[in-house]
């Protein structure tokens, strides 16, 4: 008997027909004598509609109450699946985040899980129940409902799997697994059979939304075996596991594209000690994370400073930067929202040279201008104009031979 945590995303629970298909799969695992905990997302599009509704109610909806509203999407699907399973004669029980023992901090909209205690679920499993948990939500120390950020049901599932010491956390989605790049952008993308936590984490950070970043951090920290697979077929998907020796032989495992960043440039900032601190400290205080930073020194004793933030943080970041620009005597602030960050990722980069050159040559061959570059041990990222994003992904995918891997 195995303990399986199965998470189903928005398209997998999009309507009653799809929830019935989920019930079939859950039922099959249970009939095979496995213990099953199901974690559900809201029906696809529902979280977006709830956000839109809140924005009709107020221009800047109160963040605490917005979380109460958003959590209803997952409450609905969890209840519906439990209703279906019970109508089929199975013992099933739904749990909201707080009932599942998920305690978070107080950051409404992107709360972090501080602690998880699945004793209610464990007791119900031992009594022979199928447990159905509303993903994406928890509660803070005062009992207020919180949500875990977009895509947060992945993190609910991995956290529950780690707390219950489940044999596997299955992430059921609308693609067959983790691909070498987004299969919706590149038709020659290939399914990866096995990927390390580290590479998966980079892919998630750099824009492959198939798994939420925090779910991969959690899986890596607590060694949770994650199986990403399709809810539409029975194919084996991708196993996300610890790094093994054979993995370094693959130089580039995947290509990602992130369209969710925007660029801010301060022109002609005085080139003096302390200026960067003056610019970036107020951003940090406002909890805005800055991703890439480039500083170009000119000969006349001033510099241009460019950085990127997520589009969600852009308006607030711009407001703060314009204020600071006046204080430090910068000439002007210019912005670019239509940018994309394309990245190549692979453990093999640790031990192979020439990846950057191949990347730059491939982009040059399509006349794509690189605006910013950043690197880590296992990835290289370039910022380019958004209109070239898909072309860049396809070009890099074939330049690194990913069209051919089996
Ligand atoms: P769910 O609603 O099931 O959580 P998501 O939409 O959050 O699903 O994630 C699945 C989507 O991630 C896929 O439809 C695909 O377009 C996208 N995606 C981006 N990069 C990749 C990748 N490298 N491999 C697989 N899917 C990817
Ligand atoms: N429903 C939430 C979202 O759309 C959480 C999730 O699906 O994982 O982001
Ligand atoms: Mg998702």
pLDDT tens sequence across 347-386: 888 888 889 999 999 999 999 999 999 999 999 999 999 9
Secondary element (H or E) of residue 219: helix 213-222
Nearest in space to 347 (alpha carbons), one of 255, 254, 257, 247: 247
Atom of ligand 1 nearest to the CA of 203: 23
Cα 208 to ligand 1 centre (Å): 7
Unique residue bearing structure tokens 């992945």? 154
Tokens describing residue 170 = 């299955």
pTM for this predicted structure: 0.92
What residues does 64 pair with on adjacent strands?
Answer: none
pLDDT tens digits, residue range 45-99?
999 999 999 999 999 899 999 999 999 999 999 999 999 999 999 999 999 999 9
pLDDT-based confidence at residue 298 (cuts at 50, 70, 90): confident
Atom of ligand 1 nearest to the CA of 172: 3
> Quick check: is 335 in a domain?
no
Q: Domain tally for the chain?
A: 1
> Quick check: is 225 in a domain?
no
168-173: strand order across its sheet: 92-95, 130-134, 35-40, 3-8, 168-173, 226-230, 238-241, 194-196
pLDDT for the residue numbered 296: 82
pLDDT for the residue numbered 152: 98
> Quick check: is 34 in a domain?
yes
Nearest listed ligand to the Cα of residue 150: 2
In short, whether 208's Cβ falls inside 6 Å of ligand 1 is yes
> Quick check: is 133 in a domain?
yes
Mean pLDDT of the chain: 94
Taking 70 as the threshold, does the pLDDT of residue 199 lie above it? yes
137-139: strand order across its sheet: 113-116, 102-104, 137-139, 145-147
Atom of ligand 2 nearest to the CA of 212: 8
Choosing from 12, 38, 153 the residue with most ligand 2 atoms within 8 A of its CB, the one to mutate for a pocket test is: 153
> Quick check: is 88 in a domain?
yes
For position 117, which CATH number holds? 3.40.1160.10
In short, whether 108's Cβ falls inside 6 Å of ligand 1 is no
> Quick check: is 100 in a domain?
yes
pLDDT tens digits, residue range 223-280?
999 999 999 999 999 999 998 877 777 788 999 999 999 999 999 998 888 888 999 9
Give the structural domain span for 61: 3-174
pLDDT tens digits, residue range 4-42?
999 999 999 999 999 999 999 999 999 999 999 999 999
Nearest listed ligand to the Cα of residue 70: 2
Instruction: Using alpha carbons, list the distances in angstroms from residue 274 to 265, 271, 280.
Output: 18, 9, 10
> Quick check: is 160 in a domain?
yes
pLDDT-based confidence at residue 405 (cuts at 50, 70, 90): low
Cα 158 to ligand 2 centre (Å): 14
């Amino acid at each position: 008997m195995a303990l399986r945590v199965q998470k189903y995303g928005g398209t997998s629970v999009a309507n009653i027909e799809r929830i019935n298909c989920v019930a079939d799969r859950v039922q099959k695992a249970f009939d095979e004598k496995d213990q099953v905990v199901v974690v559900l997302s809201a029906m696809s599009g529902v979280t977006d509609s709830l956000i839109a509704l809140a924005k009709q109610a107020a221009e800047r909806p109160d963040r605490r109450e917005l979380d109460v509203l958003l959590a209803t999407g997952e409450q609905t699907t969890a209840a519906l699946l439990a209703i279906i399973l019970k109508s089929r004669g199975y013992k099933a029980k739904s749990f909201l985040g707080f009932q599942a023992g998920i305690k978070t901090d107080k950051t409404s909209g992107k709360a972090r899980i501080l602690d998880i205690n699945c004793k209610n679920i464990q007791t119900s499993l031992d009594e022979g129940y199928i447990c159905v948990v509303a993903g994406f939500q928890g509660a803070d120390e005062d009992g207020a409902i919180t949500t875990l950020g977009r895509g947060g049901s992945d993190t609910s599932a991995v956290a529950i799997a780690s707390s219950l010491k489940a044999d596997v956390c299955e992430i059921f989605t609308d693609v067959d697994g983790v691909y070498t790049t987004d299969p919706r952008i590149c038709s020659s993308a290939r399914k990866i059979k096995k990927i390390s936590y580290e590479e998966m984490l980079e892919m998630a950070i750099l824009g492959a939304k198939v798994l939420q970043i925090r779910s991969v951090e959690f899986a890596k920290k607590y060694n949770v075996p994650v199986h990403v697979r399709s809810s539409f077929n029975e194919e084996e998907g991708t196993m996300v596991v610890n790094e093994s020796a054979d993995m370094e032989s693959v130089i580039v495992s995947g290509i990602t594209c992130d369209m969710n960043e925007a660029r801010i440039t301060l022109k002609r900032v005085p080139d003096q000690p302390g200026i960067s601190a003056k610019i970036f400290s107020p951003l940090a205080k406002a909890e805005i994370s800055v991703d890439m930073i480039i500083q170009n020194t000119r000969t006349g004793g001033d510099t241009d400073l460019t950085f990127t933030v997520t589009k969600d943080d852009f308006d607030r970041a711009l407001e703060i930067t314009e204020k600071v620009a006046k204080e430090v005597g910068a000439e002007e602030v210019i912005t670019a929202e239509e940018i994309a960050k394309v990245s190549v990722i692979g453990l093999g980069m640790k031990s192979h040279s020439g990846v950057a050159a191949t990347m730059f040559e491939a982009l040059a061959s399509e006349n794509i201008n690189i605006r910013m570059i950043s690197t880590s041990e296992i990835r290289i990222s370039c910022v380019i104009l958004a209109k070239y994003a898909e072309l860049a992904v396809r070009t890099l995918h074939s330049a690194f031979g990913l069209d051919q891997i089996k």
